[in-house]
A = this chain, B = another copy of it.
């Protein structure tokens, strides 16, 4: 049996990654939903056959019997189309930030816009499977996590839960992302000559991804300092996370906490104490790799967490969520 799924926003980088990962799978039928006609289609060889294109409309959802629709769209588009897609009988995996923050007040604070779908906001399951698997399985609407929070929460939450982070000293998360995280729409900030041979910090202390870390890892805003940076490369996020430990006598104890928490998880990989992953370790994969260094004399710890922003940070995790929603093997098409 084939599962028909739709993609809105298939021309963006996350949308292209969804197409790349889904089209080889024989059990999935991919349909591209034309939300806005634009001319950014790439040149293709003769005879190229991509997935079929359908309208982005209620009837199309019904006619094709779509089981899941991916929204690789800006939040305002996601808020607009989610209600009628759900009504038409498909489930939704939304890659935008529209449904991540639980309350309209929190949304307004961080996104500077009114939220128009308070009910769906409350209903949405936060699609970080490693911490919310059962809710995703039964959800109509899955809110796919932000790229930065995915790398941060997978690294921070197990240690906070284990009680080994001295929160009174706070946690610093210094995050660096490749340019594809900013999307495909041309802008001066992502023009080649402004980014290449350059490196810059942005959204110091007030990035809209911050509340996802606070909500998921259970820490207070004053305990968490986050700054984003733009790397002169295409794909990948590396976060360097600083804190002080309490109740730890050996770096291996930190490694053991991660290994216990992630036993059986297929997409989180832990390194020996003192070894840390780089971006090449995870590019074009759905892995989150985590390594750390700990200083016994002072209890200072540094954790390095890496993901591919388009895979575990967007399309890959969205497919992981789709697999759960459809009752397929969670790792299907991702290993």
A276 interfacial by beta-carbon distance below 8 Å = yes
Contact of A278 among B47, B199, B204, B238 (CB under 8 A): B199
Query: Which of A117-125, A135-143, A226-234 contacts its partner?
Result: A226-234
C-alpha gap A316/B44 in the complex (Å) = 21
Contacting pair B300 A225 (CB below 8 A): yes
Contacting pair B200 A279 (CB below 8 A): yes
Q: How many copies does the complex hold?
A: 4
Contacting pair B302 A205 (CB below 8 A): yes
**A26 neighbours in B (Cβ, 8 Å):** none
Number of interface residues of A (CB under 8 A): 74
A176 interfacial by beta-carbon distance below 8 Å = yes
Nearest Cβ distance between residue A40 and chain B, in whole angstroms?
6
Contacting pair B169 A234 (CB below 8 A): no
A197 interfacial by beta-carbon distance below 8 Å = yes
A331 interfacial by beta-carbon distance below 8 Å = no
Contact of A232 among B13, B192, B206, B259 (CB under 8 A): B192
Nearest Cβ distance between residue A204 and chain B, in whole angstroms?
4
A95 interfacial by beta-carbon distance below 8 Å = no
Q: Which of A271-312 contact B (CB under 8 A)?
A: 271-272, 275-281, 283-284, 289, 291, 293, 295, 297-298, 300, 302, 304
Nearest Cβ distance between residue A211 and chain B, in whole angstroms?
15
A270 interfacial by beta-carbon distance below 8 Å = yes
A174 interfacial by beta-carbon distance below 8 Å = yes
Contacting pair A46 B259 (CB below 8 A): yes
Query: Which of A53-61, A107-115, A144-152, A183-191 contacts its partner?
Result: A183-191
A179 interfacial by beta-carbon distance below 8 Å = yes
A201 interfacial by beta-carbon distance below 8 Å = yes
**A247 neighbours in B (Cβ, 8 Å):** none
A333 interfacial by beta-carbon distance below 8 Å = no
**A221-261 CB contact bits vs B (8 Å, 1 = yes)?**
11001010101111110101010100000000001000100
A195 interfacial by beta-carbon distance below 8 Å = yes
Chain B residue at minimum C-beta to C-beta distance from A235: B197
C-alpha gap A295/B190 in the complex (Å) = 27
A172 interfacial by beta-carbon distance below 8 Å = yes
Contacting pair A186 B188 (CB below 8 A): yes
The 8 closest A-B pairs by CB, nearest first: A45-B269, A200-B278, A204-B293, A174-B174, A222-B298, A186-B186, A179-B192, A192-B195
